[in-house]
Amino acid sequence: MTNLDTPEFAVPVEKRIPTNDYPAHMQPIPPSRMFEIKNALDRYVANTGAGAVTYDASQGDGGASLPGVPPELLMRAAELHVKHGTGYDQPFGTKQFRQVTAEKYWQLNAASGWTPENIIFTQGGRDGLNKAYNAMISLGHGRIGDLLVVSRVPWITYNWGPYGIGLNVLRAPGQPSEGWRYTPDSIRATAQFAQQHGYQIAGLVITSPDNPTGRTTPLEEQIELAHAALDSGYAFVLFDWIYHWVTDGGPSDINTVLQAFDKDQRERLMFLDGLTKSLGGSNVRSGHLVAGSKVIKHINGQASHGVVPSYFAQAVAIAAYEMGMGEAAKTILEPTKQSRHILRAALEREGIPFIMGDGYYAFIDCTQYIEAGKASGKLSLLDGAIDSASLGGYLGETFGITVVPGVYFSEAGANWVRFSYALPPEITTQAVERLFEGLKSLF
């Protein structure tokens, strides 16, 4: 028995966290500037008058711009919740969620050795990402401060989410002419760069379709990239497939990927998915990770002292997976597909450089318009530069059309903008017309 009159450590000395003052020296994490974008529309309406028509091509929320989760699925989820009750669930979710997700949704092949127990529910994509990052740190090289590798123009939260929990972010080499895509050579070169600077790589994120570029990476290419990463000493590869249902070619097959790796390599793979994009369920907060048994055990243990999952969010997924995602997500998939074809045709007609595969987005090179705006004096200096942030402000305030400045993602995207076509096709047509009206006014 220890002395009850003295303090007591919870863990033995050899297991205690060594003191480290790195949080005191971190760069402050800025709030997302995405919320600033809509302010430009408010100014446009104030200047133009009440009733002015605006177009929001900046958002990635199908539940706001499209019908979102069908009411019948929400009602079915409510019925499931009433039957289930309101007690705590397990940190991984429920056996029911695991079973339906494994059998109805992924249709996991027994040859992979992965079962429902390789699935853990998360409260949306960001919760899933944070749990994946934590597992990468703890089960990879076991070091705070190692690296997460992302693309040269990554989703904004890839820059800051990992950093907030102890990973440094390293953007891989990439060229705009190739949509800043990874190559096996760039993955190997990134590993060498990390080693030269005294770091190891905890993980690589492969996103397809990509945010912000909309680039779609074929499954065979994703497999090749993952092999290059694992062979180069990357501890884990995370496939972020949150948009993979929102495609012309259909969703990715997890079994194809798993069969391309041996048993030990599979333990170093993670897959993120959920309802945020495919079902427009942003506010449902329903996501999940599929991963090796050690990863799932680690996340489950930590989640038992952290975020215990909501059953309703699981129930919405269960209802959708039982119906079949192709049917459940029609209200998102069909209008987005039509809008994708409208936007691609318009961009090709205008002869403007762009990147566009599937998902919700096109990434558009606006260099010629930014240069024209500089010459004409119509674009204002923002943050010490005239770039896509200046262009975004001008388009919003003057023409009532918002896009996301590429410079928000990284300096490599400084002359680019992200256009979201998660809109009804008739709105996409009008928004594209307004976009080019604004761009051409700069000359």
**274 plus 198 within the same structural domain:** yes
Domain membership of residue 4 (yes or no) is no
Domain membership of residue 92 (yes or no) is yes
Residue 395: predicted pLDDT: 97
Beta-carbon count within 10 A of 197 CB: 10
Single out the residue in 300, 328, 356 at which a domain terminates: 328
Average pLDDT over residues 252-276: 98
Residue of 354, 358, 344 whose CA lies nearest to 216: 358
Query: Contact, 239 vs 257, CB < 8 A?
Result: yes
**251 plus 337 within the same structural domain:** no
Domain membership of residue 54 (yes or no) is yes
* Mean pLDDT, the chain, whole residue set: 96
**308 plus 360 within the same structural domain:** no
Give the separation between CA 278 and CA 248, rounded to whole angstroms.
Answer: 13
pLDDT in tens, 353-385: 999 999 999 999 999 999 999 999 999 998 889
Query: Contact, 8 vs 2, CB < 8 A?
Result: yes
pTM of the model: 0.97
Predicted confidence band of residue 98 (pLDDT cuts 50, 70, 90): very high
Residue of 422, 440, 442 whose CA lies nearest to 350: 440
Residue of 167, 156, 159, 157 whose CA lies nearest to 134: 167
Residue 198: predicted pLDDT: 97
Domain membership of residue 50 (yes or no) is yes
The answer on pLDDT for 339 being more than 70 is: yes
Residue range(s) defining the domain that contains residue 366: 34-59+330-440
**47 plus 119 within the same structural domain:** no
The answer on pLDDT for 3 being more than 90 is: no
The answer on pLDDT for 35 being more than 80 is: no
Single out the residue in 328, 357, 381 at which a domain terminates: 328
CB-neighbour burial class of residue 336 (10 A; exposed 0-12, middle 13-18, buried 19+): buried
Domain membership of residue 289 (yes or no) is yes
Residue 33: predicted pLDDT: 78
Domain membership of residue 171 (yes or no) is yes
* Sign of CA pseudo-dihedral 380, 383, 385, 386: negative
Residue 383: predicted pLDDT: 81
pLDDT in tens, 227-241: 999 999 999 999 999
**318 plus 336 within the same structural domain:** no
Domain membership of residue 371 (yes or no) is yes
Residue of 294, 230, 289, 297 whose CA lies nearest to 262: 230
Number of domains the chain contains:
2
Residue of 379, 427, 436, 387 whose CA lies nearest to 410: 387
In terms of pLDDT, which residue wins out, 351 or 30?
351
pLDDT in tens, 178-226: 999 999 999 999 999 999 999 999 999 999 999 999 999 999 999 999 9
Which CATH number belongs to the domain containing residue 97 in this structure?
A: 3.40.640.10
The answer on pLDDT for 421 being more than 90 is: yes
Which residue's entry shows tokens 């059953």?
311
Single out the residue in 285, 308, 328 at which a domain terminates: 328
Produce one character per residue of 227-236: b if its CB has 16 or more CB atoms within 10 Å, e if not: bbbbebebbb
**299 plus 363 within the same structural domain:** no
pLDDT in tens, 144-157: 999 999 999 999 99
Residue 1: predicted pLDDT: 63
* Sign of CA pseudo-dihedral 31, 33, 39, 41: negative
**123 plus 222 within the same structural domain:** yes
Which CATH number belongs to the domain containing residue 374 in this structure?
A: 3.90.1150.10
Residue 34: predicted pLDDT: 75
pLDDT in tens, 291-335: 999 999 999 999 999 998 999 999 999 999 999 999 999 999 999
**256 plus 128 within the same structural domain:** yes
Domain membership of residue 22 (yes or no) is no
**178 plus 217 within the same structural domain:** yes
Give the separation between CA 124 and CA 284, rounded to whole angstroms.
Answer: 8
Give the separation between CA 395 and CA 435, rounded to whole angstroms.
Answer: 7
Query: Contact, 301 vs 326, CB < 8 A?
Result: no
**193 plus 315 within the same structural domain:** yes
**178 plus 250 within the same structural domain:** yes
**250 plus 398 within the same structural domain:** no
Residue 2: predicted pLDDT: 73
